[in-house]
Structure 1
């Protein structure tokens, strides 16, 4: 599903690097003059029209241009408007019609909201692509781009192969909706975003259309229609706890050959979707794919949000568009198949202005320069018992780092103390890894249902522990994500699973630590029974994808232009009308010692409240709360609360308040959601949902 890449993310950064961030340039003048218009695009049902904003050269009617489409549910008139202003006019000034469309039932588009990436959304997207190709100002060639949701549906619509769609740029997205999204990981329920993103989307889908776009007499009936059609995503996501046809829909990894368009796949090592880049460059043909992975969080690489360095991403994508939509030889297809940032060792911190490191190139992937280095976790000795307290994982950091001050994992020493750790000897030489490490464990579980979590950390001589990568396996899914096979306690089996991809260099004198736990809250929702694992270290190993630095010899360094954008939208930040303290922490961990309860409170900090040039005031406040007792997996509780208000002068004032809660017994998940929508202070619609679903594999 994927986060949206944020509105205007507020950011403070207490950890600047000794390297300077690239300087952002604003392009005031372009080779072609730009005009902007809002239009309605018809869909095949003949009743529903999607609202679009188009930036294009003023002379495109006489000198047609290719079209570029970004297709999202995140509201072009407010939530993504600052980000849209950075790139769509820039593309238009360089000879493209750059188009931003609200998905059906969102923003100012007609219809009612559906599930993420449902058949209706993708069919509408195909209709938009074909409509753009038919316009007199378009050459008939279309590209798609987007980050997160827009990157997802770019890939998925490319797999439907509408004839005009020739190229896409997919950023921070995935090819696998089940095992590499916000719902499940390694077959385990992702408690942190299964709940939080479902709660966020309930609030987002509840927002009203804007009267200035749809008309003063239409917005309220349209809004009521949307609200009456709502059903929280959480109900559907938890009803499919294994990889079934629901998750196969939209997962392009099911058939990479369906994609005919050229694919530029972009990710960041601090984004949870980076593994998709590695899979896409491995499985798509050499003449139709290129991959780029930087140090970035869940953001476009030109925005300059931590961690950097930022790059001239718009210029790089322009090379892609000119190559595939204008048939110009820009040299982009002579670039290596994968360009990746290799991060140097860093002390642990929750934010880095710029991460130290260098760009490396791989002409093939998997790369002949990368080989497996298998390191046993022990040289014999007794079995090791793994029984972590339930709050292990509170120092995991944010699942979707956005460039905020508290996003990344802090020093892992407390987490390591709640885990079983296997340390290497101090390294004699620098060790560079690039790819997805693996962990192989010979173990027994005391309960039929259990998780195992592995983290690789960089341990400095002073004992500080920097998280390098991690992975999880629900032992029920060890024989395949499409089935649940319970463990037979008292029986040893060997399980092997991948950790998230990474490019990282361990320096001499540091140790490589493998930390193993059986809990990881709130990232992983615990099974209903307190268990423990017994691991045989001598029969277990970590497999590191070690890269030979000699492969860089004789190669020119990889360079990018400095970031460049169109002039920013003049948006004024302001404090929301929020009863909570205005300066509450982004992440706050508290411990009730007597009750043994740990609480994590999170402000997702998507952008806060702002005033737009047209007088629109957009206010948002959100809080996520995760509670658990150290000794009781059934004490897990997660709550997402949102308040959103949009208003313009005395003519329009709408407010949405939502709350979503998830808890579980030993046998079922329990979901409670509610939503209240107000216009001018009066309740328009109020709804509540209560659902339960069996715990089939989670």
Structure 2
């Protein structure tokens, strides 16, 4: 990593209030060249990152890496706290609300109107900031000319933290709801909003709190709630130029392919080996790239009219992972970059491989029974890898043993795939409600099994995500579903394994009734997007500069007094209960240059007993404390989700304290019918 100490333009930082149309003010930090303060100075374009994650503490180290860097290269780089988060006024009631997006439009227009701005604005962000960059671009504020969206999604229902394949995403539906309950409850900083205002603002936030989980589980099909903010509903609404970025270790990477395929606006896609992180940060799996330099080329082209050659780049640049032994952590993933001028690309063709090992409809028509243990999925790894030591799936041999597996013959040559594999199954379900999960694994000669990709289908949603159609047991149907996109090379001598299960806890919340699937292998197939190995012949190699950032923020981090492992699996043999405990390890406790001490501790727990799908319980506990001088604020939250055959049951609690005195203490008990989940 290279830290840029000096820039062509000296940078100044200022905190400002930005008004919105209803009078609520959002708190912003602006880094811009010092010379733009002069009345005669040339104005610069503005870049906006718009998040609820608190610029004063939680994202401050990351912000320091990029915002001053952009400012030093001739931009006003702006970090804004969403309404009701960080130091901004108002309350925050959900993700990506109409109010959030309208506020974002107001901020874009306010920035464009400043005397130091040329009137041209770009937006960028990772995850939430990538989401709302797309969503605000779809609203077409005139000054917004280009965006960079990283690890985000165009589909809030089927490619977010709530549902997958029409199934409740148990591991993150609950965990993210618990996280957002704690995050939304955090107070503004008196140093930013004033000693006399922070407590009334905090009380207003706490009084407005309602766990988001209640809303998310009230919409179990793809209805208007999820269509709002899903730009896949109308790709044509976006006319700003889009640079879409993802990583193969991130759950949102499919969006990059869809945006490159469907956008009418200028678009380029970039998919590396990365986790849910900016690609310059050097967090596993690498290699990291000079991402800030790459985005600067994008901004200079669209906001300054400089010919940087970005639109001469291929429509899609993708990393192909080379085969690796299974591990939960790779500092650097071996592989290579490939280029495609369009997506879909003629370089990729479909290779249909029958699961029965013979042509479709062959003689081996006897069905196989898929009835997986309920804890199948315990080795799925983390839904959102952040570069931690236990994020990625371990050796899949135990998971494969809990599934029905179909193996190819040993490969005689290298097989590269790029895109979204599909699985087509002719099956019957013994119960009206069931799931089917498919994993593709790379099986080495020693038997080790590396997870390549996976996909889920709630059979109730097989006719569309907006409806729930129960299965008629005793009836065979053909179902086909996509797996997550991947770029991967299977080497000679290895086998391609398709593992099929009907359970995947805790990723997928089980239906209330224990069932089984009957699959006819001879009438089922996996469809692999195989990339032509000669497609890159004659192309120049894809290269990037080395990572470069502004100097790091001098933050002091301290290990916890009682460190605990990130991921622990326990099995009580007597009771048959399986327990997964996860410490998400977002960064722990740290002290900032202004004296702010930020402490956090989180634990997620997932439990299920053999043979009883109704025993599934997921819980999230958070403790957060902020203090500086004689100011001391603390939040303790708890969220739990369980279910019967017919309803989900949610219990949450919150206690907030200021200088040891209770400011608020709230509990929620909520139920909602299980309509399709």
**Fold shared per TM-score above 0.5:** yes
Instruction: Confirm whether residue 34 of structure 1 aligns to residue 11 of structure 2.
Output: yes
Contact kept? 2:365, 2:523, Cα under 8 Å: no
Partner SS for 1:688: strand
Q: 2:337 aligns to what?
A: 359
Return the match for 1:683 from 654, 662, 668. Answer: 662
CA distance in 2, matches of 1:126, 1:294: 31
Aligned to 2:612: 632
Separation in 2 of the partners of 1:583 and 1:611?
18
2:368 to 384, 393, 416: 384
1:49 to 14, 21, 25: 25
| Structure 1 residues 18-167: aligned runs within 5 Å | 24-46=1-23, 48-61=24-37, 62-167=41-146
Q: Which of 171, 180, 199 pairs up with 2:178?
A: 199
* In 1, Cα distance between equivalents of 2:333 and 2:433: 39
* Map of 1:556 onto structure 2: 540
> Cα offset for 1:148?
0.1
Give, in whole Å, the separation in 1 of the partners of 2:662 and 2:314.
57
Deviations 1:372-415 (A, max 9, x none): 00000003152100000000000000000000000000000000
1:323 is aligned, of 294, 301, 326, to 301
Kept in 1, the 8 Å contact 2:636–2:656? The answer is yes
Q: Is 1:236–2:215 an aligned residue pair? A: yes
List per-residue Cα deviations over 1:530-567 (Å, max 9, x = no partner): 00000000000000000001011111110000000000
Matched, 1:492 2:476: yes
Report the number of matched residues: 668
Question: 2:535 aligns to what SS in structure 1?
Answer: helix
SS of 2:192's partner is helix
Q: Which of 531, 552, 568 lines up with 1:547 in the alignment? A: 531
* CA deviation string 1:625-674 (max 9, x = no partner): 0000121100000000000000002x200000000000000000000000
Partners of 1:681 and 1:45 in 2: CA distance: 35
Task: Note the C-alpha offset of 1:520.
Answer: 0.1
Return the offset for 1:181: 0.2
Residue 59 of structure 1 aligns to a residue whose secondary structure is helix
Q: Take 1:115 and 1:198, find their aligned partners in 2: how far apart are those partners?
A: 10
1:591 matched residue in structure 2: 571
**1:69-128 deviation line (CA, Å, top 9, x unaligned):** 000000000000000000000000000000000000000000011210000000000000
- Structure 2 CA distance for aligned equivalents of residues 663 and 554 of structure 1: 57
Which of 152, 160, 165 pairs up with 1:181?
A: 160
Q: Distance in 2 between matches of 1:362 and 1:542?
A: 24
The Cα shift of 1:150 comes to 0.1
Tell me, yes or no, if structure 1 residue 208 matches structure 2 residue 187: yes
Query: Paired residue for 2:275, among 276, 292, 297?
Result: 297
Measure the CA separation in 2 of the matches of 1:682 and 1:60: 46
Cross-structure match for 1:17 = none
Q: What is residue 573 of structure 1 aligned with on the other side? A: 557
Q: Deviations over 1:459-487 (max 9, x none)?
A: 00000000000000000000000000000
CA distance in 1, matches of 2:666, 2:91: 16
Instruction: Kindly report structure 1 stretches of 4+ aligned residues shifted beyond 4 Å.
Output: none
For the residue of structure 2 that corresponds to 1:319, the secondary structure is helix
Q: Tell me the alpha carbon deviations over residues 46-79 of structure 1, each in whole angstroms, 9 at most, x when there is no partner.
A: 2x10000000001124121000000000000000
Moved more, 373-382 or 630-639: 373-382
Aligned to 2:289: 311
Q: Secondary structure at the match of 2:587?
A: coil
CA–CA separation in structure 2 for the residues paired with 1:124 and 1:218: 22
For the residues of structure 2 that align with 1:585 and 1:332, how far apart are their CA atoms?
44
On the 8 A contact 2:329/2:391 being kept in 1, the answer is yes
Gaps of 5+ in 2: 359-363
Superposition pairs of residues 388-537 of structure 1, within 5 angstroms: 388-537=372-521
SS of the residue aligned with 1:549? coil
Distance (Å, rounded) in 1 between the aligned partners of 2:116 and 2:665 = 45
Preserved contact between residue 46 and residue 120 of structure 2 (Cα < 8 Å): yes
User: Is 1:641 the counterpart of 2:614 in the alignment?
Assistant: no
| C-alpha distance in structure 1 between counterparts of 2:510 and 2:156, whole Å | 21
Aligned to 1:4: none
Determine the C-alpha separation between the residues in 2 that align with 1:136 and 1:394: 56
* Aligned partner of residue 36 in structure 2, secondary structure: coil
The TM-score normalised by the length of structure 1 is 0.95
Q: Distance in 1 between matches of 2:610 and 2:36?
A: 63
1:339 and 2:323 matched: no
Using the alignment, how far apart are the partners of 1:681 and 1:359 within structure 2? 55
TM-score scaled by length of structure 2:
0.98
CA distance in 2: counterparts of 1:245 and 1:440, whole angstroms: 29
What value does the CA root-mean-square deviation take over the aligned residues? 0.6
- Write the distance in 2 (CA, Å) between the matches of 1:141 and 1:680: 45
Could you list the per-position Cα deviations for residues 226-282 of structure 1 after superposition, in whole angstroms to 9, with x for gaps in the alignment? 000001000000000000000000000000000010000000000000000000000
8 Å contact from structure 2 (residues 440, 454) kept in 1: yes
Q: Shift in Å at residue 425 of structure 1?
A: 0.1
2:204 to 201, 214, 225: 225
Which residue number in structure 1 is paired with residue 361 of structure 2? none
Q: C-alpha separation between the residues in 1 aligned to 2:291 and 2:631?
A: 38
Instruction: Tell me by how many angstroms 1:675 deviates.
Output: 0.3
2: CA distance, partners of 1:387 / 1:582: 40
Instruction: Specify the alignment match of 1:10 in structure 2.
Output: none
State the 1:575 CA deviation. 3.8
1:618 aligns with 2:598: yes
Q: Distance in 2 between matches of 1:557 and 1:414?
A: 40
